[in-house]
Amino acid sequence: MKYKGSCHCGQVAFEVEGELTKVTECNCSICSRKGMLMWFVPREQLRLLTPEENLSTYAFGKARIQHRFCARCGIHPFGEGADPSGRPMAAVNVRCLEGVQYADLPVQHFDGRSL
């Protein structure tokens, strides 16, 4: 299935394709503050519909994840990184997807705080 998403102001818009069957909630210092519910997909399944320069990037610690956010409104629609095998991945914030009833999705809890 194909989903559309965006930041609050619309300066960052994207579409993502895949089967949304669960979300991940991480308790690390940044994810817990942002309130992200993440859906992990291969990076090639996420396509920006707006210019790349509308995004800003934040990385911390070991900088394994590039936290992408709108330079205007500050909303974090996705992050980019790699899975353990090195394959590029996107962590889509399902709260930024149109028409998704994320409260109905099973939540997998991830202890990122202990890493």
CA distance 27 to 30: 8
pLDDT in tens, 54-103: 999 999 888 889 999 999 999 999 999 999 999 999 999 999 999 999 88
CA distance 2 to 80: 19
The reported pTM is 0.92
Domain boundaries, the chain: 2-114
Check: CATH 3.50.40.10 for 2-114? no
Give the pLDDT score at 62.
82
pLDDT in tens, 6-37: 999 999 999 999 999 999 999 989 999 999 99
Question: CA–CA distance from 85 to each of 53, 88, 106 (Å)?
Answer: 29, 9, 25
